[in-house]
Amino acid sequence: MVVVATGFFDGVHLGHRQIIDTLVRTARERGGRSVLISFWPHPRTVLQKDARDLRLLTSRDEKKDIITALGVDQVEIMPFTREFSRLSTEEYLRDIVIGRFGADAILLGYDNRMGFDSGSPDQIAAIAEGLGLEVIRMDAVSIGGGVTVSSTKIRTALSQGDVEMAAKMLGRRYSLYGVTVAGNRLGRTIGFPTANMKLYEPLKLLPADGCYLVEVETLGRRYHGMTNIGHRPTVSGGIGDANHRTIETNIFDFDEDIYGLDLTVSFIAQIREEKHFPSLDALKRQLESDRDWCVAKIKE
């Protein structure tokens, strides 16, 4: 018995997790294997549908690691090509889901799409059943206030700086992964040295410009800190680089050289939006206030 779930699963949010939990449980109850089929790159980058604006919640490796940790027996990340995009729903189910992976049953989410001619979930279910697949239907997942969880809503929350709402829908804090690179060292001159991050996944979505309380993982240990995302406005004129956003993190109680090393930043709460400052003294006073806010928040 092989039970399959299929989709892009960007973010692996609470709705995805319900599907994955059901996939794993069903396969185990029936003495079979759980298989999750996903794709890379995102279909929009191949089909050029607003691809310039596309930003992802999870990289390929991050997504695969999260799904594997949830107990799925086999995680397949298939190359999404133009040729692949031309498969119909029936061809995809017959040739890939059944033909390549030997599926006996398939989980179908409330908004699952598959094939260039993908219809409604009812239409997909009818095709699947016509091919001999058992179809297990899944409902949407909602959080407080009846908000349906979706990758789109998580992207919207992050674009508004609401990292706490994003975390509720993800079921974990939103994180960035990268390497520490050289910065302008301005923070060090005023007592707030920063680790500057270059993302491993260039298409990873950044939260809105602003200052955030974060948890930082580096050198195998975890720390609290505050991260500023923005265009690094100059102190004097308030003019930054409009085409380049920086990720600068001041790690609390930390004074080690981590240039060239891995860095993970997980967002806890937004402190404030990005600001311009008339002087270094004004910037320093704001950062001291930001740090006090963080310490109070951590103690809550």
Mean predicted confidence (pLDDT) in 143-158: 93
Report helix, strand or coil for 271.
strand
* Angle (nearest 5°) at CA 30 between 26 and 31: 115
Mean predicted confidence (pLDDT) in 269-288: 91
Distance (Å, rounded) from C-alpha 126 to C-alpha 277?
61
What is the structure's pLDDT at 243? 59
What is the structure's pLDDT at 190? 84
- Strands 210-218, 2-6: pairing is unpaired
What is the structure's pLDDT at 279? 85
Tens digit of pLDDT for each residue in 214-266? 999 999 999 999 999 998 655 544 444 545 789 999 999 998 999 999 999 99
Is the pLDDT at 269 greater than 80, yes or no? yes
Closest CA to 36 of 62, 65, 11, 4: 4
Tens digit of pLDDT for each residue in 159-179? 999 999 999 999 999 999 999
Tens digit of pLDDT for each residue in 67-90? 999 999 999 999 999 999 999 999
- DSSP state string for 113-162: --STT---HHHHHHHHHHTT-EEEE----EEGGGEEP-HHHHHHHHHTT-
Percent of the chain having pLDDT more than 70? Answer: 95
Distance (Å, rounded) from C-alpha 169 to C-alpha 172?
8
8 A C-beta contact, residue 14 and residue 62: no
Look at the block and give the residue holding tokens 């939103």: 174
8 A C-beta contact, residue 42 and residue 78: no
The dihedral formed by the CA atoms of 230, 236, 242 and 244, expressed in degrees to the nearest 10: -50
Look at the block and give the residue holding tokens 């059943």: 129
* Beta strand spans in the chain (E): 2-6, 33-40, 74-79, 105-108, 134-137, 142-143, 147-148, 175-181, 195-199, 210-218, 221-230, 246-251, 262-273
Mean predicted confidence (pLDDT) in 33-47: 94
What is the structure's pLDDT at 235? 53
Look at the block and give the residue holding tokens 């003294």: 281
Is the pLDDT at 66 greater than 90, yes or no? yes
Report helix, strand or coil for 289.
helix
What is the structure's pLDDT at 236? 42
What is the structure's pLDDT at 5? 98
Is the pLDDT at 184 greater than 80, yes or no? no
Look at the block and give the residue holding tokens 């949010």: 13
Distance (Å, rounded) from C-alpha 237 to C-alpha 155?
31
Mean predicted confidence (pLDDT) in 277-282: 87
What is the structure's pLDDT at 233? 58
8 A C-beta contact, residue 231 and residue 278: no
Is the pLDDT at 60 greater than 80, yes or no? yes
Type of residue numbered 149: V
- Cα–Cα distances (Å) from 270 to 111, 178, 251, 263, 293, in that order, read 31, 20, 16, 19, 11
Is the pLDDT at 275 greater than 90, yes or no? no
